[in-house]
Amino acid sequence: MCEFCGRRGRAVVSDESGRVGILDLSRGWSVAPYPLAHVHADGSTGDLFTCPACDARLMRGEALRARQGVVRRLT
pLDDT at 74: 67
**Reported confidence tier of residue 57, pLDDT bands at 50, 70, 90:** very high
Whether 5 contacts 33, CB under 8 Å: no
pLDDT at 75: 60
Task: Tell me if residue 15 falls in helix, strand or coil.
Answer: coil
Whether 18 contacts 38, CB under 8 Å: no
User: Cβ–Cβ contacts within 10 Å for residue 29, how many?
Assistant: 20
Q: Which tens digits make up the pLDDT trace of 8-52? A: 888 777 778 777 777 778 888 988 888 988 988 778 888 888 999
In 3-state terms, the chain is what percent helix, strand and coil (to 5)?
15, 20, 65
User: Cβ–Cβ contacts within 10 Å for residue 54, how many?
Assistant: 22
